A and B are shown apart, each in its own frame.
Chain A
Amino acid sequence: MKKLMITAVAISALGAGVAMADGVVAPGDVKFEDGAVAMSLTGVPGDPSKASELMDRKFGNCIACHQISALDLPFPGEIGPPLDGAGSRWTEAQLRGIVSNAKMTFEDSMMPAFYKTEGYIRPGVAFTSKAPEGPLDPLLTAQQVEDVVAFLMTLKE
Chain B
Amino acid sequence: GLALPVLADEEADLVVNGDLKMVTHAPAPAHLDGALSEVISGWVFRSDETQALQMDDFDNPGMVFVDKAMEVWNTVDGSEGKSCASCHNDPAESMKGVRAVYPKWNETANEVRTIAAQVNDCRENRMGAKPWKYEGDDMAEMEALIALQSRGMTVNVAIDGPVQSTWEQGKEIYYTRYGQLELSCANCHENNYGNMIRADHLSQGQINGFPAYRLKNTKLNTVHDRFKGCIRDTRAVPFKPGGPEFTALELYVASRGNGLSVEGPSVRN
Which of A's residues lie within 8 Å of B, judged by CB? 57, 61, 63-65, 74-80, 110, 112-113, 120-127, 129-131, 136, 139
Q: Pick the residue among B2, B180, B198, B228 that contacts A139 (CB under 8 A).
A: B180
Asked whether, in the complex, the Cβ of B232 is within 8 Å of the Cβ of A129, the reply is: yes
- In the complex, identify which listed stretch (B7-15, B136-144, B188-196) lies at the interface while the others stay far away: B188-196
Interface residues on chain B, size class: 20 to 34
User: Is there a chain A Cβ closer than 8 Å to B178's Cβ?
Assistant: yes
Contacts of A110 in B (CB 8 A): 183, 187, 191-192
Q: Pick the residue among B182, B195, B232, B236 that contacts A79 (CB under 8 A).
A: B195
Asked whether, in the complex, the Cβ of A123 is within 8 Å of the Cβ of B232, the reply is: no
* CB of A76, distance to nearest CB on chain B (Å): 8
Given contacts A122-B237, A124-B235, A112 and B182 within 8 Å (CB-CB): yes
**A64 to chain B: closest residue by CB:** B198
Given contacts A121-B177, A121-B178, A131 and B237 within 8 Å (CB-CB): yes
Complex A-B, nearest 9 residue pairs according to Cβ-Cβ distance, in ascending order: A75-B199, A64-B198, A124-B237, A112-B181, A122-B236, A129-B232, A122-B237, A77-B197, A78-B195
Contacts of A125 in B (CB 8 A): 235
User: Is there a chain A Cβ closer than 8 Å to B109's Cβ?
Assistant: no
Among B164-206, those with CB < 8 Å from A are 176-183, 187, 191-192, 195-199
A–B pairs, 26, beta carbons within 8 Å: A57-B198, A61-B198, A64-B197, A64-B198, A65-B197, A75-B198, A75-B199, A77-B198, A78-B195, A79-B192, A80-B2, A110-B183, A110-B191, A112-B181, A120-B180, A120-B182, A120-B236, A121-B182, A122-B236, A123-B235, A124-B179, A124-B232, A127-B235, A129-B228, A129-B236, A139-B181
Contacts of B135 in A (CB 8 A): none
* CB of B35, distance to nearest CB on chain A (Å): 15
Among B63-116, those with CB < 8 Å from A are none
With a 10 A CB-CB cut-off, give which of B180, B181, B192, B195 has the most chain A CB atoms. B180
Q: How far is the CA of A78 from the CA of B198 in the complex (A)?
A: 8
* CB of B122, distance to nearest CB on chain A (Å): 30
Contacts of B228 in A (CB 8 A): 129
**B191 to chain A: closest residue by CB:** A110
* CB of B242, distance to nearest CB on chain A (Å): 16
User: Is there a chain A Cβ closer than 8 Å to B225's Cβ?
Assistant: no
Contacts of B191 in A (CB 8 A): 110
Q: How far is the CA of A141 from the CA of B62 in the complex (A)?
A: 45
Asked whether, in the complex, the Cβ of A129 is within 8 Å of the Cβ of B238, the reply is: yes
Asked whether, in the complex, the Cβ of A127 is within 8 Å of the Cβ of B197, the reply is: no
Known: A65-B197, A122-B237. 8 other contacts (CB 8 A): A77-B195, A79-B195, A110-B191, A121-B236, A122-B179, A123-B179, A129-B237, A131-B237
